[in-house]
C-alpha cells in the first residue's frame, strides 16, 4: 500500500515487488514519480544493502531467504 507516509525507499521496493520484481529504470522512475536525481541515490543505497540488483537498465529485487 502506498501512501503519504511511506518512505521513498519503501515505495521503490513496493513498486518493484508488485511489478514482478524487476523493471526498467525509466519505468520505475515513472512509477515512483521521482526525478532521477532523487531516485539514483536511493537505488545505490538499496543495492549496497543487497536489497536490489542493478544490471544495466534493469532494476531487480534480490531474493530474500
CATH number, residue 19? 1.10.10.10
Report the alpha-carbon distance of residue 4 to residue 24 in Å, rounded: 24
Taking 60 as the threshold, does the pLDDT of residue 1 lie above it?
no
For cell 521521482, the residue is 34
Based on the number of CB atoms within 10 Å of its own CB, is 59 exposed (0-12), middle (13-18) or buried (19 or more)?
buried
15: domain range? 8-61
What is the per-residue pLDDT for 19? 94
Is 45 inside any structural domain? yes
How many structural domains are present in the chain?
1
CA angle 6, 23, 32 (to 5 degrees): 30
According to DSSP, the residues that pair with 54 across neighbouring strands are 59
Report the alpha-carbon distance of residue 3 to residue 11 in Å, rounded: 9
Taking 70 as the threshold, does the pLDDT of residue 2 lie above it?
no
Taking 80 as the threshold, does the pLDDT of residue 3 lie above it?
no
Is 3 inside any structural domain? no
Is 31 inside any structural domain? yes
> Tens digit of pLDDT for each residue in 45-65?
999 999 999 999 999 999 764
Is 26 inside any structural domain? yes
Amino acid at each position: 500500500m502506498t501512501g503519504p507516509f511511506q518512505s521513498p525507499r519503501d515505495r521503490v521496493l513496493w513498486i518493484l515487488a508488485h511489478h514482478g520484481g524487476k523493471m526498467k529504470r525509466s519505468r520505475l522512475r515513472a512509477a515512483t514519480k521521482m526525478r532521477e536525481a532523487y531516485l539514483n541515490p536511493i537505488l545505490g543505497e538499496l543495492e549496497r544493502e543487497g536489497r536490489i540488483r542493478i544490471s544495466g537498465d534493469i532494476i531487480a529485487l534480490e531474493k530474500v531467504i
